[in-house]
Amino acid sequence: MSLFDLTGKVAIITGSSRGIGRAIAEAYADAGAKVVISSRKQPACEEVADAINAKHGEERAVAIAASISDKAALEALVTETRQRLGQIDILVCNAASNPYYGPMAGISDEQFRKIFDNNVLANHWLVSMVAPEMIERKDGAIVIVSSIGGLIGSDVIGAYNVSKAADFQLVRNLAIEFGKHNVRVNAIAPGVIRTDFAKALWEDPKAEAALRRVTPLGRIGEPDEIAGAAVFLASKAGAYVTGQGIVVDGGTTIRGGL
């Protein structure tokens, strides 16, 4: 059996109607898993699920919309996944938000709370919902998509970076709690990836040129370049990896950040 085979596994991936989340869902389906496509809007989820199913000629994906800011919606997501697919083997907390760009002195309390609610608390909610069955089976993989922002400072996305640093610590704590049950918890820390979410960091040609200069590989990353790390962490290849933050940034952080 391939170290990267996910046949028979069921994975929930939040924020998977586009960008990094979609790339992870597609890679999991390619590796044999059944995937739950989830984001805020059901039509967008269905479009991605239909494309995955058409590619494989069978049902590898189901669409279940849920807002990460709504605890009841996340509970419904988990319940429906179990009803339709039987169990949950893999959870990828990818969805996040960043409603504010600028110095932290200018951020409102509402914006700060939204960042932490969506980027940290929602991950805690989802993990708490799926972990009991993983613990009972003594098998499971949880992946939280953090960011290199959690490792460096910024004068424009400070609160977002603080939330992503919190995700690293969430992973470390949960890995210790769940380790004795053979449930692994890890983070992926992408650099700047060509997605709509990060568009403000690369859409201007001058901004992209600056990013290229500080990235040893000399380019911005693509969503499917994050998916490989997600497959590794969910599969037998990553069976002895837990509590870690895997940086996938083209080398940006080794040159001192952005």
Structure-token match 């893999």, residue found: 90
Mean pLDDT by 10 residues, the chain (258 residues): 93 97 98 98 98 97 98 98 98 95 95 97 98 98 97 92 98 98 98 79 76 89 95 98 97 76
- pLDDT for res 257: 46
Residues 127 and 129: their CA atoms lie apart, in Å, by 5
Beta-bridged to residue 160, according to DSSP, are: none
Phi and psi based region of residue 218 (left: phi greater than 0; alpha: psi -120 to 50; beta: remaining): left
Tell me if 19 is assigned to some domain: yes
160 belongs to the catalytic site: yes
Q: Which of the 8 DSSP states describes residue 150?
A: G
Tell me if 101 is assigned to some domain: yes
Tell me if 1 is assigned to some domain: no
Annotated catalytic residue within 28, 101, 160, 240: 160
Write the CATH number for 113: 3.40.50.720
- pLDDT for res 202: 66
What is the pTM (predicted TM-score) of this model? 0.95
Residues 122 and 105: their CA atoms lie apart, in Å, by 25
Residues 160 and 104: their CA atoms lie apart, in Å, by 10
Tell me if 241 is assigned to some domain: yes
Decide: helix, strand or coil at residue 30.
helix
Tell me if 5 is assigned to some domain: no
Q: Which of the 8 DSSP states describes residue 205?
A: H
- pLDDT for res 256: 63
Tell me if 2 is assigned to some domain: no
CB 17 within 8 A of CB 61: no
- pLDDT for res 136: 98
The domain tally of the chain equals 1
Tell me if 257 is assigned to some domain: no
- State the residue range of the domain holding 103: 10-252
Tell me if 4 is assigned to some domain: no
